[in-house]
Amino acid sequence: MKGLLAAIRGYLSDAWGAWNTFWFSPTDPATLSMLRLLAGGMLLYTHLIWSLDLSGFIGPDGYVPVSVLRAPQGPDFPAWSAWSVFFWIKSTWLLWVVHVLALVVFACLTVGFFSRTAALLAFPLAVSYAYRVTPGAFFGLDKVNCMLALYLLLGPCGARYSLDRLWRLRRGDATDPEPSVSANLAVRLLQVHLCIFYLFSGLPKLDGSTWQLGTALWWGASITEYRSVSLLWLADWPKFAALLTHATVFWEIFYCCLVWNRFTKPLVLGMAFCVHGGIALFMGMITFGTAMIIANLSFLKPETVRKILDPVAGRVSLALVGKKVS
C-alpha cells in the first residue's frame, strides 16, 4: 500500500512539475517577437482597408448604422457596445482621428516602437473595429486578429526584431534579451487557443452531411463568389476530393493532440500551411489564410526562429547602428 501511495505521489509530483514547466519556464522571446512583427503587419493592413470607405463601414450612419445595432436592445445602451469606441463617436472628423491613431498604434506594434504600450492599445482597438462591423462584415479574420493581439500584450513582444531593440543597442545596451516567463506564457496561451479553435471547428463537421459524404471540399470549390483559382477539375476526381475532405476533418479534430508530438508536429503544421494556403490561393481569402498561418507559427521553437531571422536582423542593426545583433 505504501508503495502504491508513493507511486501516486511521484506521478502527481511529476505532473505538477510538467505543468509548471509547460506554462512558466523562462523562454527566449524570439517566437513572440516574430509573431508581433507578422501579426502587427496584418493588423495594420486589414484595418487600413477600412480607410477606403471609413464612414460607410464604421461611421455612426454607415451601411449598418449604430441605431440599427442598438435597436434589438431597446432604448438602453447595450452593454456589449462598450467594447467598441466607435459607438461613442458622432462626427466624421473624430472618426478619422481615432482611425488614424489606431493605424499609428498598429504600425508601432509592427516595427516594435514602444512595443508593450502599442500591444496594450492594439487589442482594444482591434476589438472595437470587430464589434462595430458586426453583423455586416465580421469574419474569421477579425477573430484571428483579436486573438493574436490579445496574446501579444502579455509578454515582451518587442524584445527582438524591433526598433525598441535597436534603440537599446544605440544607447549601449548590447546584452541579449533574457528568457522570459511571460513570453512563454503568451505563446503557450496562443497555442492552446489555436488547439481549441481547430477542435471546435472540426467537431461540428461530424454532423454535416456534406462532410460525412466527402463532398464538402467540392461544394466549397464550386462556389463562384469565393473562387479565385478554378478547382472544377475535382469533379473528375470525386474520391480524391472525398479524401481531402475527410483528411481536413481528421486534422482539425486531432490537431490538439498531434501538434505536441515532435514526430507528428511537422506533419500537422505542414497540413496547416496547405489548408490555409489553399484557402488563400483558391478561395480568395488571402488575409484570413495568412493570419491563420501566422498563428500556427507560434509552434516554432525560439532557436528555429532565431536561425531564420537573426541573420536579417543582424544586417539591419549593423546598417542602422553599426553593431550586428539580433
CA 26, CA 19: separation in Å to the nearest integer? 13
The shares of helix, strand and coil residues in the chain, as percent rounded to the nearest 5, are 75, 0, 25
Instruction: Please give the average per-residue pLDDT across 184-206, as a whole number.
Output: 95
pLDDT at position 136 is: 60
Rg of the chain on CA atoms, in Å = 23
pTM of the full predicted structure? 0.89
Show the cell assigned to 193. Answer: 487557443
The 10s digit of each residue's pLDDT in 105-162 is 999 999 999 999 999 999 999 999 988 876 666 678 899 999 999 999 999 999 999 9
Question: Residue 269: CB partners within 8 Å, gap ≥ 6?
Answer: 259, 296, 299
Q: What is the pLDDT of the chain when averaged over all its residues?
A: 87
Tell me the pLDDT band of 324, cut-offs 50, 70 and 90: low
Residue that wins the pLDDT comparison between 217 and 191: 191
Question: Residue 224: CB partners within 8 Å, gap ≥ 6?
Answer: none
At 281, the amino acid letter reads L
The 10s digit of each residue's pLDDT in 37-83 is 999 999 999 999 999 999 888 888 888 887 777 665 555 555 555 67
Q: Which of 171-180, 211-220, 223-232, 299-308 has the highest mean pLDDT?
A: 299-308
pLDDT at position 5 is: 77
